[in-house]
């Protein structure tokens, strides 16, 4: 059954109410239920109590009239359709009521049943429709609003989270950015709508290749992406972004789009880094200090407290000037380090000595590392100290012991120098005087004794020389000369020197030089002399009869170099196989009987070997017991391509002709009384006239007054030594007196001594104790060269 329509009639005229009643009843029977109110207030009252489907409202009521009546009713019950009744004269009010929301208006007096009925039904239906429509509209509006809010929220969220999004249309190759992404890239909104390449160009150059490859790879494999990379903003600031993206493919699986978000994680990244750092620092055994850019300490770790004795609270109270005044004492440039780190923004490492709270000294190696802020300037400085006290102590200890070692080497050297001087001077006298004594009348026994003294003296000299050379080798102080010399002269001086020994033993001594070898060479003739002398000395010593041969052969040569093989062979006692390998070792001899029988120290071969090897050569020996021995050594020597000047070392000339120096005026400069007597005696034997000067100064004075043919000059003297005196004569005296030949007499025989003499301007030198023959031939050579004789 159909529901009845409930109608509220608000009408004060009972006639009109009845009329409406009748019309409606006539037309649709009892389909309607009526309620009536004769004033607006009563009507509104009823509306509050009951539900109605429609209101028929007379606008002219006892308590309200006109449009106002409608307004009040509509306001009270906007959900019920209202049909207004107006008088004949007042249709406009009806129209206006409809504009305000009335469903219809009827003019009293012209109402008919049919119209009234239709108006009521239409009003109800239309109102329902309107209601539904307005509800829908409202819902739609709400939804739109929600959407707008959502979008705004998303924008805000992006802004807050610093997440921007992008959309890359792979097919069209365009990239669009969200507002926040523009901000993240430091661009103005909308400034950038471009292709993949210009997007890639904004990536940090160091990350560009990686990002490009990663994205291209992901698009091919249709894989999502999740990685971090850096970008460079137009103002050159670097930011770190976290990218998450996915690829969208078409139905055939071809990539058509890539969408992604980028989150600016720069601060977070730095924070994480700092957290990691702090964590590491806290756990570190090293001392870690974090200071602000002015050097003010903000934090220290346990390691620092352990090292320095100061804890964080103390540091924070002392702070100002802590590093300078309390902690650190010996880093002169500490302040500059801070300045440098602020300006350069690079880590600095330095070592420094410090004092802990209880005054203990300790050393650290410090690395200052700047922590850069957003704008790229130094915000914090991290100082990491490693305790290097132990290392420093060891270094110091090492340094000290090195110094001591150096010192002791020096002392040893000085000792050797002094000793050799002290021994040589009296030895000079012994050898010299025995020499003189031998030339006097002696009976046979006396001659034997003196011979014995002379041989012992000479042997002693060899030993002293060996020990001296050996100590120089050991202390690494051996220097080899590179001077011009003649090979033939070295050979002849050796034979001249050893011929008497050989003759005495009836041994034939011979020497041969390969005719292909040029005579003028560059090298150290003294050392070469020493080596050969040693080998020949041994050969004569260990040979009873037969011969000793010295020879040199050319092995190879270049334009300016020669390789020579020197050999010394004898027909002596030979060396057993087992001993062959040890004879070159220092202090070693082939048999324990050797010393007793032949003398020697076992140093000769060790020295020869060193002298050869230090010049780049090598030595070897072939021998069998009783079948003699052959020592061979190779040496490389330079050719002297411009021969002309050689220091006078010819010791073999004119030894026989002892009259050659007759009437020569010689100035003997010598402070040692024994040497004075000795030299004077020798010179008088040669019929020279000798004037004595006790030192350089006296010598100069004497030379000023008198001319001399030759000056024999000692080196070590009081007042003015030989070198000084020579320099003075060579530079301060007028010609030709300044050119007076000077022969040095040195007792040192140390490396450098001879160069010093030559450098001072001496013509040649002889070392004490001297062989009179050598002195004689040297003097002859000098004078010949000077054309004095």
**Shortest Cβ 385–ligand ADP spacing (Å):** 58
User: What is the spatial distance between Cα 317 and Cα 750, in angstroms, rounded to a whole number?
Assistant: 67
| Closer residue to ligand ADP (CB): 56 or 535 | 535
Beta-carbon contacts of 426 under 8 Å, excluding residues fewer than 6 positions away, are: 674
| Closer residue to ligand ADP (CB): 75 or 504 | 504
**Shortest Cβ 547–ligand ADP spacing (Å):** 12
Instruction: Report whether 673 contacts 697 (CB < 8 A).
Output: no
Is residue 773 involved in binding ligand ADP (CB under 6 A)?
Answer: no
Beta strand ranges found along 233-347 (DSSP E): 238-249, 255-264, 287-292, 297-300
Beta bridge partner(s), residue 179: none
User: Candidates 43-51, 535-543, 638-646, 772-780 — which segment interacts with ligand ADP by CB under 6 A?
Assistant: 535-543
**Shortest Cβ 432–ligand ADP spacing (Å):** 25
157 burial (CB, 10 Å; 0-12 / 13-18 / 19+) is: exposed
Is residue 703 involved in binding ligand ADP (CB under 6 A)?
Answer: no
| Closer residue to ligand ADP (CB): 290 or 606 | 606
**Shortest Cβ 542–ligand ADP spacing (Å):** 4
DSSP 738: G
* φ/ψ (deg, to 5) at 175: -120, 130
Beta-carbon contacts of 741 under 8 Å, excluding residues fewer than 6 positions away, are: 709, 710, 711, 763, 782, 783, 786, 788
Please list every residue from 616 through 645 that binds ligand ADP, using CB under 6 A: 629
Question: Residue from 8, 247, 341, 590 that binds ligand ADP (CB under 6 A)?
Answer: 590
- Cα torsion 743, 748, 754, 757 to 10°: value is -50
**How many alpha carbons lie under 13 Å from residue 202 in its C-beta half-sphere?**
21
User: What is the spatial distance between Cα 501 and Cα 518, in angstroms, rounded to a whole number?
Assistant: 29
**Shortest Cβ 448–ligand ADP spacing (Å):** 25
Is residue 589 involved in binding ligand ADP (CB under 6 A)?
Answer: yes
- Cα torsion 665, 671, 677, 683 to 10°: value is -20
User: Candidates 301-309, 569-577, 665-673, 738-746 — which segment interacts with ligand ADP by CB under 6 A?
Assistant: 569-577
Please list every residue from 596 through 615 that binds ligand ADP, using CB under 6 A: 600-606
Is residue 468 involved in binding ligand ADP (CB under 6 A)?
Answer: no
Total of residues contacting ligand ADP (CB under 6 A): 20
| Closer residue to ligand ADP (CB): 368 or 573 | 573
Question: Residue from 8, 583, 612, 666 that binds ligand ADP (CB under 6 A)?
Answer: 583
User: Candidates 207-215, 571-579, 665-673, 753-761 — which segment interacts with ligand ADP by CB under 6 A?
Assistant: 571-579
Instruction: Please give the structure tokens belonging to residue 351.
Output: 């070592």
Is residue 538 involved in binding ligand ADP (CB under 6 A)?
Answer: yes
Is residue 485 involved in binding ligand ADP (CB under 6 A)?
Answer: no
Q: Which of 541, 536, 545 is nearest to 589 (CA)?
A: 541
- First-to-last CA distance in the chain? 173
User: What is the spatial distance between Cα 84 and Cα 93, in angstroms, rounded to a whole number?
Assistant: 9
User: What is the spatial distance between Cα 269 and Cα 248, in angstroms, rounded to a whole number?
Assistant: 30
- Coil, helix or strand for 627? coil
Question: Residue from 539, 635, 743, 747 that binds ligand ADP (CB under 6 A)?
Answer: 539
Question: Residue from 104, 570, 670, 754 that binds ligand ADP (CB under 6 A)?
Answer: 570
Is residue 542 involved in binding ligand ADP (CB under 6 A)?
Answer: yes
- Residue whose beta carbon is closest to ligand ADP: 600
Question: Residue from 295, 572, 617, 696 that binds ligand ADP (CB under 6 A)?
Answer: 572
Q: Can you give the three-state secondary structure of 66-99, one letter per residue?
A: CHHHHHHHHHHCCCCCEEEEECHHHHHHHHHHHH
**Shortest Cβ 563–ligand ADP spacing (Å):** 24
| Closer residue to ligand ADP (CB): 366 or 534 | 534
**Shortest Cβ 725–ligand ADP spacing (Å):** 39
Is residue 575 involved in binding ligand ADP (CB under 6 A)?
Answer: yes
Is residue 567 involved in binding ligand ADP (CB under 6 A)?
Answer: no
Beta bridge partner(s), residue 498: none
**Shortest Cβ 588–ligand ADP spacing (Å):** 6
**Shortest Cβ 463–ligand ADP spacing (Å):** 8
Contacting residues toward ligand ADP, per CB under 6 A: 538-539, 542, 570, 572-575, 583, 589-590, 594, 600-606, 629
């Amino acid at each position: 059954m159909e529901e009845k329509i409930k109608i509220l009639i608000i009408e004060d005229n009972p006639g009109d109410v009845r009329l409406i009643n009748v019309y409606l009843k006539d037309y649709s029977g009892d389909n309607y239920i009526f309620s009536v109110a004769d004033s607006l207030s009563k009507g509104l009252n009823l509306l509050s109590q009951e539900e109605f489907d429609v209101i028929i409202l007379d606008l002219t009521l006892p308590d309200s009239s006109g449009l106002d009546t409608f307004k009040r009713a509509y306001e009270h019950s906007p959900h019920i359709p209202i049909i207004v009744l107006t008088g004949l004269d007042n249709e406009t009010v009806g129209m206006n009521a409809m504009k305000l929301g009335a469903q219809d208006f009827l003019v009293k007096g012209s109402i008919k049943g049919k119209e009234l009925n239709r108006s009521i039904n239409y009003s109800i239906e239309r109102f329902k429709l309107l209601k539904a429509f307005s509800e829908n509209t409202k819902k739609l509006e709400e939804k739109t609003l929600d959407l707008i809010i959502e979008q705004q929220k998303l924008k805000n969220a992006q802004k807050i989270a610093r997440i921007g999004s992008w959309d890359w249309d792979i097919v069209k190759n365009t990239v669009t950015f969200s507002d926040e992404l523009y901000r993240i890239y430091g661009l103005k909104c909308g400034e950038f709508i471009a292709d993949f390449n210009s997007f890639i160009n904004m990536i940090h150059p160091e990350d560009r290749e990686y990002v490009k490859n990663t994205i291209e790879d992901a698009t091919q494999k249709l894989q999502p992406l999740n990685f971090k990379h850096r970008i460079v903003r137009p103002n050159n600031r670097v930011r770190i972004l976290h990218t998450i993206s996915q690829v969208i493919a078409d139905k055939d699986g071809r990539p058509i789009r890539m969408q992604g978000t980028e989150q600016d994680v720069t601060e977070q990244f730095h924070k994480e880094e700092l957290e990691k750092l702090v964590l590491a620092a806290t756990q570190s055994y090293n001392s870690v200090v974090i200071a602000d850019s002015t050097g003010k300490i903000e934090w220290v770790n346990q390691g620092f407290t352990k090292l320095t004795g100061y804890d964080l609270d103390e540091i924070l109270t002392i702070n100002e000037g802590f590093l300078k005044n309390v902690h650190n004492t010996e880093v002169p440039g500490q302040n500059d380090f801070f300045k440098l780190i602020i300006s350069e923004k690079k880590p600095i490492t330095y070592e420094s000595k410090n004092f802990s709270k209880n005054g203990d000294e300790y050393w650290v190696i410090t690395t200052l590392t700047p922590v850069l802020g957003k704008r790229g300037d130094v915000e914090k400085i991290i100082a990491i100290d490693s305790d290097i006290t132990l290392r420093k102590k060891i270094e110091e200890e090492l340094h000290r012991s090195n110094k001591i070692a150096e010192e002791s080497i020096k002392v040893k050297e000085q000792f050797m120098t002094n000793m050799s001087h002290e021994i040589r001077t009296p030895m000079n006298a012994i050898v010299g005087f025995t020499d003189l004594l031998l030339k006097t009348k002696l009976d046979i026994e006396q001659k034997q004794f003196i011979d014995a003294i002379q041989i012992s003296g000479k042997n002693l000299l060899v030993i002293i020389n060996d020990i001296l050379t050996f100590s120089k080798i050991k202390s690494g102080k051996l220097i080899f000369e590179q001077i011009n010399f003649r090979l033939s002269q070295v050979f002849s001086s050796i034979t001249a020197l050893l011929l008497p020994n050989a003759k005495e033993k009836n041994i034939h001594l011979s020497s041969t030089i390969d005719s292909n070898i040029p005579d003028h060479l560059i090298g150290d003739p003294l050392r070469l002399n020493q080596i050969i002398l040693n080998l020949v000395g041994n050969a004569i010593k260990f040979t009873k009869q037969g011969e000793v041969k010295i020879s040199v052969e050319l092995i190879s040569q270049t334009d300016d170099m020669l390789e020579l093989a020197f050999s010394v062979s004898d027909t002596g006692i030979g060396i057993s196989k087992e001993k062959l390998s040890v004879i070159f070792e220092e202090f070693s001899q082939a048999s324990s009987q050797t010393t007793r029988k032949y003398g020697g120290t076992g140093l000769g071969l060790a020295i020869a070997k060193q002298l050869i090897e230090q010049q780049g050569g090598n030595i070897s020996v072939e021998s069998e017991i009783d079948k003699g021995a052959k020592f061979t050594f190779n040496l490389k020597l330079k050719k002297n391509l411009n021969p002309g000047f050689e220091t006078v070392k010819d010791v073999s000339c004119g030894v026989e002709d002892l009259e050659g120096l007759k009437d020569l005026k010689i100035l003997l400069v010598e402070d040692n009384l024994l040497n004075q007597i000795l030299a004077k005696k020798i010179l008088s034997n040669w019929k020279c006239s000798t004037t004595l000067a006790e030192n350089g100064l006296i010598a100069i004075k004497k030379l000023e007054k008198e001319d001399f043919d030759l000056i024999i000059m000692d080196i070590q003297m009081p007042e003015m030594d030989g070198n000084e005196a020579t320099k003075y004569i060579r530079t301060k005296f007028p010609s030709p007196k300044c050119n007076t030949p000077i022969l040095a007499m040195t007792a040192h025989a140390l490396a450098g001594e001879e160069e010093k003499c030559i450098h001072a301007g001496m013509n040649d030198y002889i070392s004490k104790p001297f062989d009179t023959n050598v002195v004689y031939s040297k003097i002859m050579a000098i004078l010949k060269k000077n054309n004095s004789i």
